[in-house]
Amino acid sequence: MLPSGLGFANWELAVGDAMLDLPERHRDRDQQPYVQVTRRSCFTEHRKRLSCGLFLTSFVAVSWMGGTHLLRAMYVDYSQALAANAQALNASQVEGRRAVIYPLYNAPFFTTWVCTTMNVLFFPLYLLSRLCAPASEKTSLKKELTDSLHPYQERSLSLSRFVCRCGSFTVLWVITNYMFIYSLTLLDATDVIALYTTNIAFIYLLSWVLLQEQFVGIRIVAVIMCNTGIALFAYMGGASRALTLGGVTLAAAAAAGTAVYKVLFKKFIGEVNLGQLSFFFSLVGLCNALLMWPIFLALYFSNLEIINFNEIPWLPLMGAALFIFLANLLGNFGVIFTYEVFLTLGFLFAVPASAAVDVYLYNVEFKGMKLAGVILSMIGFCLVLLPENWPDYITMCLRWRWRKYPPEPTSCNSETRTSYASRLRTQSGRVK
C-alpha cells in the first residue's frame, strides 16, 4: 500500500546542456562516425525509456486507482445494512416468510492484513527474474541471499535487533495502511487518493529535518499548498462534517505515516538495491502474516469488525490486494525500464482517473472546497517533483528557444517625421 516509487526527481540534462554549449572545436569531432553511432544509440535508449515510462505511468495509475476503488466498493455501510436487515425481519414477521439477512462486511484491519500479506511475493518474484536473466548476469541463490542481508550485516545488527527492527517497520506499515483503508469507509475514493498524495510533501519536510536534505524554496511552497488542500477537504462535509473530518484526519495521518516510514527506512537501513528492497518487503509481509492475525481475530470476536466468513467479498478483496501489489511492484522495479519520475507521476494521474470513475459510477460532484482541495493537492505534488536547480532548466529552454528562433532585427532609425517634408532640411534632418 505504500508506494515506494514516490521520491524526488533527479533529472540529469547534461546531454542537453552539452548540445546547447557545444564549442566550435568539438564540431569536427562530432562528425566522426563512431561519435554519431554512440549518440544515435543513446537517443534510441532514451526513446525506449520514455516509451516504457508512458506505459508504466498509465499502468501504475490504473493499478492504484483500481485497488482503491475495489477497497471502497466492498464495504457495506453498516447503518444502511442494519436498516435493511430490520426491514427484512419485519416483513418476514408480517408475511410469515423467512428473512433474508444481507451480508455485512466492515473489517478494515482484516483487509489490511490480507493486502500486506501479499508483500511476501516480492522476493520470490525477484529471484524468479534473476533466474530468467541472461547467463552472463545470473547469480546463485546463496549469493542473492548474502547480498540481501548485507545492509543489516554492515550495521552489525544482532538477531534480536534485526527482528525488532523488522517488527517495528511492520507495525508502522500496518497502522498506516489501516488508516488509509478505514478512511475509505468515510470518504470517496478520489478524496482519499488526493489526500494520500500529500505524503510526498511530508517526505520532503522529514528529509530536510532528519536527513539534512537541501532546502528548496519551491518545495516549501508545495508543502503549504498540500496542507491548504487538506484543510479544504476538512471543511467540505457540510451536514456530515464530523464524519468527513474523521475521514480526512485518517487519510492525512496515513500520508504522514507513509512519510515517516520512508524516511526512517532511509535513515536506519540506507540505500539498497532492488534485491535488498524486495527482501525487506517480503520480511514485512511475513511478519504481518505471522504476528498480526491474532489482532483481527480479537477484533472479530469483540464485534469491533463485522465479518461474515461465509459472505466475505473475496473477489474484490483479492482484486484490490493484487492491484495494490502491482502498483508497489512497478513503483519499485519499474526503474529498470524507465525513469523514476514516470513512476511517481503514475500515482498523481490516479487522482483524475479515480475522479472520472466516481463521477461515472457514483455521481459524485466535484465543486467548491472539494474541487479546490483536489487541485491544490495535485499542484503541491507537482511542485515537490521539481528538481533543485529548476531555474537552470528554464534558462536552458529559453536559450535554446532564442538560438533556434532568433528575434528578427528591427530598424533603429524609426521614422518619426510627418508626411510634410521641409525644403530647408535634408532627408537625414540636417539644415541645408
- Residues contacting 92, CB < 8 A, separation 6+: 98, 99
pLDDT at 51 over 80: yes
Radius of gyration of the CA atoms of the chain, in A = 29
Tell me which of 194-208, 287-301, 392-406 is least confident: 392-406
Mean per-residue pLDDT, 331-335:
84
**Between these two residues, 414 and 322, which has the higher pLDDT value?**
322
pLDDT at 343 over 70: yes
Nearest Cα to 181, choosing from 104, 116, 236, 235?
Answer: 116
Average pLDDT, the chain: 79
Tell me which of 5-9, 85-89, 363-367 is least confident: 5-9
**Between these two residues, 199 and 38, which has the higher pLDDT value?**
199
Which pLDDT belongs to residue 238?
58
Handedness of CA 191, 193, 194, 197 (dihedral sign): positive
The answer to whether the beta carbons of residues 379 and 194 sit under 8 Å apart is no
Residues 83, 70: Cα–Cα separation, whole Å: 24
Which pLDDT belongs to residue 230?
92
Which pLDDT belongs to residue 324?
94
**Between these two residues, 67 and 312, which has the higher pLDDT value?**
67
pLDDT at 31 over 70: no
Q: How confident is the model at residue 90 (pLDDT cuts 50, 70, 90)?
A: low
Mean per-residue pLDDT, 62-79:
83
Q: How confident is the model at residue 10 (pLDDT cuts 50, 70, 90)?
A: very low
Q: How confident is the model at residue 353 (pLDDT cuts 50, 70, 90)?
A: very high
Percent of the chain with pLDDT over 70: 74
pLDDT tens-digit map of 233-255: 988 865 556 778 889 999 999 99
Q: How confident is the model at residue 20 (pLDDT cuts 50, 70, 90)?
A: very low
Which pLDDT belongs to residue 215?
82
pLDDT at 28 over 90: no
**Between these two residues, 409 and 287, which has the higher pLDDT value?**
287
pLDDT tens-digit map of 136-191: 667 777 777 787 777 777 666 677 787 788 889 999 999 999 999 999 988 899 99
Which pLDDT belongs to residue 132?
78
pLDDT at 268 over 50: yes
pLDDT tens-digit map of 98-136: 444 445 678 999 999 999 999 999 999 988 888 777 766
The set of cell numbers assigned to 412 is 533603429
The set of cell numbers assigned to 10 is 533527479
